[in-house]
Structure 1
Amino acid sequence: MEQFKYVAAIDIGTTKIVAIIGRKDITGKVEIVGMGKTPSKGVKRGVVQNIEETSETIKTAVKIAEQQAGVKIKTAYVGIAGQHIKSMKNRAYKFISNPEEEINLADVLELNEDMKKIPMQAGEQIIHVLPQNYIVDDESGIINPVGMSGRKLEANFHIVICQSGSAKNILKCVDRAGIEVNSLILEPLASADAVLTEDEKEVGIAMVDIGGGTTDIAVYYNGIIRHTAVVPFGGNVITSDIKEGCGILARQAEQLKLQFGSALGDLAPDSRIVAVPGINGRDAKEISMRTLAHIIQARMEEIIDAVMFEIMNSGYADRLGAGIAVTGGGSMLRNLSQLMKFRTGLDVKVGFPRAKFTRGLDVEGGQPMFSTGVGLILKGFEFEMAPKVKEKAAPKVEEKKTEPIKEEQITPTVEGNSEDYTQEKNSALNELISGFTSSFKTMFGDKPDPKM
């Protein structure tokens, strides 16, 4: 048996592309051993707009991660986000063939798989089916029906949908970089796994991921994802406001935001002045720290109000016992948590990725800007272990041949080791909850950058 199992992930964001390699030892501990980060090219608001530029950037990030980890990767779990992501609620049911027998894991998995086959509008596809709860013979509110007896099994689902074209473009970019995509994973789902604890998800929490192009919201209660949404602006629009308000270059505005920015104008010193070099020999521009902070605060209040609207729209605003966890590059803005707490009336914390990093990666890798990448690794390992639906045996078809050919018997197959699958069925409750409620129960937008 190999000592380590490796999983790779790629986070394609508006302002950065990150390739991460993680490994799990025989005790189940996950460690991040390689991480490559490059400025993003060809991506806007989480959507690929230039295949060649994006694929070359992915190649660069992957090469850096491979050199650090000392391994070559052939496959990866890839994040997907952006304004095109949307969600819907739906219900499905099935009748149990023998009500005298217990409902088993295969019944539940089959119900979930059937939901993936529902018709979508042209140009759309399902990327995640997240169970909310189950109903057995009109008994509702069941988190896990495995082991129960009944004639009818129903379930309520939160379904995440993306534009097929956007998904195909991501697949093209990664394929041209020489990597095979294991699965597309909604980035907010990954970020949530990286920064939230199971206790926080149980008591109720809203995760807010502030990226460069969008801000993503995911609301949890009773350990289940309840609502997902995307706000169509993030840190880049703040940079644009500073550029326009101060009459400076975009790169100068970004540097001002990162070095001197604050989300609370009244706390910024009015007497402190920052000199920005002039263009082509012109005099430097003097900008007050308080003026800069007020520009930032005005836009951040707009983002926070949009986030709070989605939280209210979820119907769980009064059940968020753990408040809000803000992550992503934008979460590092000074005094942001104080502004969010004042604006929403909820407790606010900054979410850092909860993972072990190999020496040399711990300082940078532990920052909120890498929450999505770390979460994709965690999701990847969960997907590797999640139980799969057995394929039905294909019927044998006799073909007329001039010479007799020995037929190969087609048997049901399971992705992964069959012994692992049997073990998963024997521990149906834990695997279902961790496989779906933890792996699948989670949620939207551009992924954060080191820049807000």
Structure 2
Amino acid sequence: MTRDKAKRRSGSSKRVTGVLDIGTSKIACLIAQVEPNGVRVLGTGHQRAEGVKGGVIIDLDKAEQSARAAIAQAERMAGVELSEVHVAISCGRLKSHNFSAKADIENGLVAEADLDRLLKAGQAFVERGGRSLVHMNEVALRIDGAPGSRDPRGMAAHRLELDLHAVTADEAPLRNLLMAVGRCYLEVASHVPAPFASALAVTSEDERRLGVTAVDIGAGTTSIAMFAEDRFVHACSALLGGTQITFDIARALHAPLAEAERIKALYGTVISAPSDEHDVFSYPAAGDEEGVMHHMTKAELAEIVRPRVLAIVDHIRQRLEESEMTAYAGRCLVLTGGTSQLTGLADFVAAELGRPVRVAGPQAISGLPPALSSSAFSTAVGLLLAETHGAADRRIYKGREPEAGSYFKRVGSWLREGF
């Protein structure tokens, strides 16, 4: 179904857009209507992720089924049928590159072709050793050595320089993710680094202008995004997250994984209070007869949770120390993601890193259900903001379609028109 048909079914000529976040624990799809004063969510869908580990597709069939279910749920609620989606990318060992591209202006006036040459040179520079470009944005622009305007086209110049920030990923995991989307008969309109999307959802424009670091601690990955002077300047991710805390609890208590996840959500903490020594909870152990319960205090649970959280915080510290952009991104650190809801995490991270820390969920969007307003859905909400407020981040590269994308689009169109 074409985008025009989607518009008609929604009863409006306004643009309708869809976003898809394929995470380790869940797959979320949002459909929104872009209005002059913002966006209004029309439909939402989320399913437990199958065939995904650490944001990486490990089983295409299972991942496709989960994604299809989430997309169908959102489409039914919105009353539209998507033909394309904007996709969050967290797989492939995301890595940032900050560099400059320069070009001589032959006819003395900056033209679109001059910008294209710079972008192609930048893409060739970062796409080496099996890496693929995910995102590229302007950091600074100079015309003949002097700071230039936001749009240099048509301006007189002998030399144009762009300071660029690019995010790349390993090619194979990226292609597998885009293939899973293609198998849902959807085109990939753009792909967006997941840390960038979640940061947009939980930080303000003023924070990004002054400098801020957003850390998304999800189920399978921990990602970092830095902003300085309202420019996206750094991103990275690692296979660390809340799932490992759940496994630690399950092993220590010999409890089923589902029970360990419940215990983490209800009683997990990293900073114990005196009352936690007497606050007891019950749980069944794996293999025990039905009705047999075991007991533990919240203080004892904290001793299980804390080492893994400390490992995650140590990783964050190491990445901040290694990044050359940390000095420009200010001291403020914003935590988001499902694992950020762990009791006492903000105070623990602040004490370990020696900087102000706050936990934040995504900013309010019209039509977004309360159940999807938690930190666990920051990336999905941020995808909408990245797509609808793209000018704010000065993106100049939004991703390419996978090679098989046109094929899947043709097949999808044939099926929809025929049935």
Which one-letter code corresponds to 1:210 in the other structure? Answer: I
Where 1:213 maps in the other structure, the secondary structure is coil
For 2:126 and 2:236, how far apart are their aligned partners in 1?
A: 22
The Cα of 1:55 is off from its aligned counterpart by: 0.5
Which one-letter code corresponds to 1:346 in the other structure? Answer: R
Where 1:343 maps in the other structure, the secondary structure is helix
Where 2:106 maps in the other structure, the secondary structure is coil
For 1:257 and 1:300, how far apart are their aligned partners in 2?
A: 12
The Cα of 1:316 is off from its aligned counterpart by: 4.5
Residue 277 (1) aligns with residue 314 (2): no
For 2:137 and 2:144, how far apart are their aligned partners in 1?
A: 21
Matched with 1:245 is 252
Where 2:395 maps in the other structure, the secondary structure is helix
Matched with 1:436 is 395
Alpha-carbon deviations, 1:388-416, whole Å to 9, x = none?
A: xxxxxxxxxxxxxxxxxxxxxxxxxxxxx
Q: Is the 8 A contact 2:93 2:237 kept in 1?
A: no
The Cα of 1:268 is off from its aligned counterpart by: 5.8
Residue 234 (1) aligns with residue 241 (2): yes
The Cα of 1:276 is off from its aligned counterpart by: 0.9
- Of the three residues 327, 333, 341, the one matched with 1:332 is 341
Matched with 1:305 is 314
Which one-letter code corresponds to 1:347 in the other structure? Answer: P
- Of the three residues 193, 196, 204, the one matched with 2:203 is 196
The Cα of 1:88 is off from its aligned counterpart by: 2.4
Higher relative contact order (CA 8 A, sep 6+): 1
Matched with 1:17 is 27
Where do residues 168-183 of structure 1 align in structure 2 (5 Å cutoff)? 168-183=175-190
Q: Which has the larger radius of gyration?
A: 1
The Cα of 1:84 is off from its aligned counterpart by: 2.5
- Of the three residues 39, 53, 58, the one matched with 1:44 is 53
How many residues were matched structurally?
385
Q: Is the 8 A contact 1:10 1:373 kept in 2?
A: yes
Where do residues 191-230 of structure 1 align in structure 2 (5 Å cutoff)? 191-230=198-237
For 1:29 and 1:223, how far apart are their aligned partners in 2?
A: 20
Alpha-carbon deviations, 1:37-77, whole Å to 9, x = none?
A: 10000000010011110101111101111121121112111
The Cα of 1:118 is off from its aligned counterpart by: 3.6
For 1:298 and 1:194, how far apart are their aligned partners in 2?
A: 29
Matched with 1:407 is none
For 2:388 and 2:150, how far apart are their aligned partners in 1?
A: 22
Matched with 1:5 is 15
Which one-letter code corresponds to 1:14 in the other structure? Answer: T
Percent of matched pairs sharing the same residue: 27
TM-score, normalised to structure 2, is 0.85
Where 1:129 maps in the other structure, the secondary structure is strand
Q: Is the 8 A contact 2:144 2:157 kept in 1?
A: yes
**Over the residues paired in the alignment, what is the CA RMSD in angstroms?**
2.4
For 2:46 and 2:181, how far apart are their aligned partners in 1?
A: 15
Matched with 2:350 is 341
Matched with 1:73 is 82
Matched with 2:405 is none
Which one-letter code corresponds to 1:77 in the other structure? Answer: H
The Cα of 1:295 is off from its aligned counterpart by: 1.7
The Cα of 1:218 is off from its aligned counterpart by: 0.9
For 1:110 and 1:382, how far apart are their aligned partners in 2?
A: 26
Matched with 2:406 is none
CA distance 1:119–1:19, shift in 2 (3 Å)? closer
For 1:297 and 1:23, how far apart are their aligned partners in 2?
A: 43
For 1:317 and 1:165, how far apart are their aligned partners in 2?
A: 30
Q: Is the 8 A contact 1:356 1:362 kept in 2?
A: no
For 2:393 and 2:282, how far apart are their aligned partners in 1?
A: 53
Which one-letter code corresponds to 2:34 in the other structure? Answer: K
Residue 161 (1) aligns with residue 173 (2): no
Which one-letter code corresponds to 1:82 in the other structure? Answer: C
Segments of 5+ residues of structure 2 without an aligned counterpart are 1-6, 399-419
Matched with 1:424 is none
Alpha-carbon deviations, 1:302-328, whole Å to 9, x = none?
A: 211211221222245455546111111
CA distance 1:240–1:247, shift in 2 (3 Å)? same
Which one-letter code corresponds to 2:94 in the other structure? Answer: I
Alpha-carbon deviations, 1:248-290, whole Å to 9, x = none?
A: 2222111100011112134661011111123331742211110
The Cα of 1:17 is off from its aligned counterpart by: 0.4
Residue 151 (1) aligns with residue 158 (2): yes
Matched with 1:258 is 265
Where 1:371 maps in the other structure, the secondary structure is helix
TM-score, normalised to structure 1, is 0.79
Q: Is the 8 A contact 2:89 2:192 kept in 1?
A: yes
Alpha-carbon deviations, 1:354-392, whole Å to 9, x = none?
A: 24232xx43112111111111112222346xxxxxxxxx
